[in-house]
Amino acid sequence: ETQQKCLVIAPKITASFSILGTCYVIRNVLCSKKKRKLVYHRILLCISGIDLIIGICMFLSTWPIPSDTANTFGVVGTSERLPLVQLKDSFCSLQSWHVCIMPLFRCTIC
């Protein structure tokens, strides 16, 4: 029971930090006309956009799952929200692409 609670709460905490950091990067790029013109910052903006979507999906994690699901902590959704769960899972599949691209991107800027 305690382990399940930790596994549900921990992603919400880390996702919150990820969302805040990503919003900071997006804001800095979009507010600077000079940065918007540079290809590096445009790529950074796209990667940050994907990271923002993934962060939101990770923050939602169990919330949209129907509340009658057995052995799951933190579920508050209804069966009508099931398409939302599937959409969240689809966006979270971007994470594998994101994890592969980030190291390559970082290597190119060094």
Q: What pLDDT digit, counting tens, does each position of 27-78 carry? A: 999 999 999 899 888 888 888 888 888 888 788 777 766 677 666 776 766 6
Between 2 and 35, name the one with better pLDDT: 35
Q: Put residue 47 in one of left, alpha, beta given phi > 0 → left and psi -120 to 50 → alpha.
A: alpha
Confidence of residue 24 (pLDDT cuts 50, 70, 90): very high
Contact 51, 24 (CB under 8 A): no
Tell me, yes or no, if the pTM score tops 0.85. Answer: no
Confidence of residue 4 (pLDDT cuts 50, 70, 90): confident
Contacts of 99 (CB under 8 A, 6+ apart): none
pLDDT of residue 33: 92
